[in-house]
Chain A
Amino acid sequence: MILPPRVAPLAASKLEELPGDETYDAVLASLGFERRCTEIPAALGEVVKRAAVPFFDRREGSYRENERFFRKSGWELAAIENESQVPAWISQWLRERGPEEGVRRLAVDVSSMKRTRIAAVVEAVIEHLTACELEIDFLYTPSSFRAPAENNDPPVLSVRPVSGYFAGWWHDLDAPLHAIIGLGYELERASSAIDQLEPEILEAFIPVGTDGAYLTALERANQELFDTQDLKHVTHYEVADPFTCFRTLESRVHGIAERHRVALVPLGPKIFATCVLIVAALHPGAVQVIRVSAEEREHAVDYRSDGSVYGLRLVLGPPRAGSEMGPANPGSMAVADVEDDR
């Protein structure tokens, strides 16, 4: 029997505590401008199948250094020419390294991944690997705290579904649009999404980091939004507890999707984007995931990890013997069925 995809918590960890080559059969990461790109990959050690997808824009900051690291450590770098080829490459890579090749446990470092790439990963595993016995750990290491730059947002160039798969498919256009927006430092992006979508109902998910200064800075950055928008709900989520965030979000979406068109706008930490994309994949057609982007005008900020690692596990295929509920260390077994937890 093929069970629907299940989501499980992963216990918080430190970079140096991450289990390495004995745990994961494959790892997928990004090669970009942040030092953070290589921090989880370095901690995971000599995993057999490793690949990183390079950025095609903003090859600045730590890009060259990161590239040297990946090459020196024997990582496969995606041999493609532009961003539009990335989703297909990811899909192909994941399928070729599926369980037929002995991959049972896969780690995906989303820390520096573009949302379109995380979307490509989620789409590929949900659409092509559901029947496989496979665990995918989405790992995320937050950056050290850095206050937002004043009035430094690049102009917004695009507000549209993150991909066709996550565009949703609504049959009742009379239904009110309910937007759930994950906030980050980027007020203009949040405003732009709201401006374009004109949702009838708006709610926000606000990240709370381990450093209290993060929440203070984030609330200050979004003060205008709080002052001018009619937020029906505000949910604070712990960046350190993605599973609870996922469960809360999934429960919200489940509750509203029947009578509303639902748009999710995952600004803020990439782990929230991961939660959003998994939730959307579990509600096919009902949910639209919006990407707000400055495209090639995005700034390159060279973030470093704060040393912690959080994650979320997606479990596909039949239940494995010995599976149990509850948080697990990255790489170890733990399954929580979303249905049961709702």
Chain B
Amino acid sequence: MTSDPITTTYGHYNARSVDPRVVAEHFVAPPQFWEIVPESNTVLSGPRGSGKTTLLKMLEATALERWENLQAPRAREAVTYSGVFVPADRSWAGQVDSVYERFDPELRTALGLACFSLHMLRGLTACAAMRIVPSKAEHPHDRVSMERDLEERIVRETWENWGLNEPVGTFTGLRFALSDLLLDLGKCSLRARREPEAVAQLKCHAALDLKPVEAMIPFIERFNHAVGQEAHVWMFLVDEIEFLPPVIRSDILGLMRAHDPRIMQKCSLAPYTSISSEDESLGAWVGHDYQPVDLTFPDKEKGYDFNEELVRGVLARKCIDLTPEDLLGGRGEFESDRTEAYAPGTTNAAHIQSLAEKDRSFREWLCEHGLDAGAPGVSSETERAATLRKAMPIIRLRDEFLRVEDGVLRRRSRKQPRTYVGALSAYAICEGNPRLLIALVERLVRLHLSKELDDAHRADSIDSAAREYERHLRALAIPASLPLGLLPRNLVDRIGKHFEEQVLAAEFDPEPALSFEVDREDLTRLGLKDVLMQLVHYGAFVPISDQRFRLAHMFAPNFHLPLRRGRPHALRSILGPSGDSRQLSIDATEEESA
């Protein structure tokens, strides 16, 4: 078990194998936690690192017992069910897929379902065993008392129906026996792979007769009756179901269709699954059989409080006597919407004046809006002040990355300035994604400990994080059919450069295009669907709506972009007919880029 799950490397930390009690020790609840807690079927969706596994684990009794926070009593009261965590991950899915690849599709599906059913039953028995053990926690949660003979009776009345060979006497014994059954299924499967005559034997394996709901109900009924909680709900917390083969995923999700009110589930799902128009196993059920919960923060401001708490938590854990703003370099002016951020003498005021001196189109814009470059802060009319605030990130970026040469505005190559330093920028860049934010904070903490923490190093850290995030795109496994021009790294690069052109174009545009729209036809015709799904899952593309996306703000330092969503451009116009996009066979489009 990982002893300090927060000490992690950039980009990789998964709570999958962390003891729920350890998860609880470091847990900071995002606002969405309270949407997940109620006794209802839920599908959590969010990119990697958005905390899906952590949130599911926090619904286990042992985590709730350990959580020490002002909000903990509220959570303990709201979680009226028994949380049964069922892990699944890509390596397990790959295992099942590979072992069974030689079998016919029907058998493959049956075996995959049998495996998953056994894992669900293992989770159920582990939870049952936990519930009847008295807790030493200060706030016991979901514990019950059960006499030994009752436990024995329930187990006795269960084991045979679950295809187990030998009697067992306890819930824990039941779990071990299920492990043995899983191992036996594996052995039989491997034998059948090399000896075709063993396939018939495999088809008769007891595990293949298990139907998860049918198998659970008698157990749950007996347990609930024994402890006097007839209607008690057992909530299956199924992690990363996107890795399951579609048929199994559909079956698991089918559980939500109210087979029995005592069995419910909360699943975590990568966001791409809901983009796909063909994969509508969820689509028809929204709001009816399950509640979708999105773990992203399309409105970045809504994540700020959570982000601040997260940073505060890391600092406290590391015994560092700094506030989040101390660590991150103040609140930051790039994202500031305070009036005083434009007062004479401020950095913003200096940028406005400096840009006005070199950028004709900006001067005209100021004039058009009745703004004075020399005293922007004295603009008293609310509307005019708001106009300026809205345009400020563009003004700043143009001033920093444009220079006048022979009377013409030209791109300026320079080391990353301190544009993105500050708490609000850090929160926006990390998109409220705990994994990204914690990784950045840990970089800064190391600088603090080595007494090197200043704005220049903060800027460097943000820049390095952004470049590393972009480099990591190269490591994403892609579908074989994808044209080279659509490799994740190429796609992001082309989109990022297009937006950069909009920001630093010859004519000042206070609201340039910073997002893109993809029509359904392009998804399939250009083979974009797979790569789009993958980039949304990675977090590189952030969905704004079904067909509109923006680049993750983590790319902003690489392409000198503001932390805004901007106006949309059609993706086909961004990829355009020029350069290597010719291999995409995209026709010239009606919409020209600005």
Question: CB within 8 Å of B: which residues of A?
Answer: 127-128, 153, 155-161, 163-165, 167-177, 188, 191-192, 194-201, 224, 228-230, 261, 263, 284-285, 288, 290, 295-297
Q: Which residues of B contact A194 (CB under 8 A)?
A: 12, 475
A200 to B474 alpha-carbon distance, docked (Å) = 22
Contact B182 A164 (CB under 8 A): no
Given the interface pairs A191-B474, A198-B89, the reply to whether A228 lies near B17 with Cβ below 8 Å is no
Contact A156 B477 (CB under 8 A): yes
Main DSSP-derived SS at the B contact region: helix
A155 to B94 alpha-carbon distance, docked (Å) = 20
Q: List 16 A-B contacts (CB under 8 A).
A: A160-B94, A167-B98, A170-B92, A170-B95, A176-B17, A177-B91, A195-B477, A196-B91, A196-B477, A198-B12, A200-B2, A201-B2, A224-B471, A285-B186, A290-B91, A296-B480
A285's nearest neighbour on chain B, judged by CB, is B186
Contact A261 B91 (CB under 8 A): yes
B94's nearest neighbour on chain A, judged by CB, is A160
Q: Which residues of B contact A229 (CB under 8 A)?
A: 9, 12
Q: Does B102 contact A (CB under 8 A)?
A: yes
Contact B190 A169 (CB under 8 A): yes
Q: Which residues of B contact A174 (CB under 8 A)?
A: 16-17, 85, 87
A102 to B522 alpha-carbon distance, docked (Å) = 61
Q: Does B560 contact A (CB under 8 A)?
A: no
Q: Which residues of B contact A263 (CB under 8 A)?
A: 91
Among A195, A197, A230, which residue has its beta carbon within 8 angstroms of that of B472?
A: A195
Q: Which residues of B contact A192 (CB under 8 A)?
A: 475-477
B273 → chain A closest CB, angstroms: 17
Q: Does B66 contact A (CB under 8 A)?
A: no
A251 to B78 alpha-carbon distance, docked (Å) = 48
Contact B1 A288 (CB under 8 A): no
A295's nearest neighbour on chain B, judged by CB, is B480
B76 → chain A closest CB, angstroms: 23
A167's nearest neighbour on chain B, judged by CB, is B98
Q: Does B417 contact A (CB under 8 A)?
A: no
Contact A191 B472 (CB under 8 A): yes
Give B88-128 as 1s and 0s: 1 = Cβ < 8 Å from A's Cβ atoms: 11111011011111100000000000000001001000000
Q: Which residues of A contact B189 (CB under 8 A)?
A: 169
5 further A-B contacts with Cβ under 8 Å, apart from A164-B101, A169-B187, A171-B122, are: A159-B477, A173-B88, A174-B17, A175-B17, A196-B477
A83 → chain B closest CB, angstroms: 13
Q: Does B179 contact A (CB under 8 A)?
A: yes
Q: Does B146 contact A (CB under 8 A)?
A: no
Q: Which residues of B contact A284 (CB under 8 A)?
A: 190
Contact B179 A172 (CB under 8 A): yes
Q: Does B232 contact A (CB under 8 A)?
A: no
Contact A156 B476 (CB under 8 A): yes
Contact B98 A157 (CB under 8 A): no
Q: Which residues of A contact B300 (CB under 8 A)?
A: none
A168 to B94 alpha-carbon distance, docked (Å) = 10
Query: What are the 10 A-B residue pairs with the smallest beta carbon separation, nearest first?
Result: A169-B186, A191-B475, A167-B98, A176-B17, A192-B475, A171-B182, A161-B98, A173-B87, A230-B9, A171-B179
Q: Which residues of A contact B566 (CB under 8 A)?
A: none
Question: CB within 8 Å of A: which residues of B?
Answer: 1-2, 7-12, 14, 16-17, 85, 87-92, 94-95, 97-102, 119, 122, 179, 182-183, 186-187, 189-190, 193-194, 468, 471-472, 474-480, 482, 484, 487
Contact B95 A169 (CB under 8 A): yes
A288 to B96 alpha-carbon distance, docked (Å) = 11
A159 to B93 alpha-carbon distance, docked (Å) = 12
Q: Which residues of A contact B478 (CB under 8 A)?
A: 155-157
Q: Which residues of A contact B190 (CB under 8 A)?
A: 164-165, 169, 284-285
A198's nearest neighbour on chain B, judged by CB, is B14
B1's nearest neighbour on chain A, judged by CB, is A176
A31 to B487 alpha-carbon distance, docked (Å) = 31
A178's nearest neighbour on chain B, judged by CB, is B17
Among A169, A173, A195, which residue has its beta carbon within 8 angstroms of that of B89?
A: A173
Q: Which residues of A contact B472 (CB under 8 A)?
A: 191, 195
A254 to B8 alpha-carbon distance, docked (Å) = 26
Q: Which residues of A contact B91 (CB under 8 A)?
A: 177, 196-197, 261, 263, 288, 290
Among A167, A197, A201, A285, which residue has its beta carbon within 8 angstroms of that of B90?
A: A197
Q: Which residues of A contact B468 (CB under 8 A)?
A: 224, 228
Contact A176 B2 (CB under 8 A): yes
Contact B477 A158 (CB under 8 A): yes
A35 → chain B closest CB, angstroms: 28
Among B8, B92, B193, B471, which residue has its beta carbon within 8 angstroms of that of A173?
A: B92
Contact A200 B17 (CB under 8 A): yes
A192's nearest neighbour on chain B, judged by CB, is B475
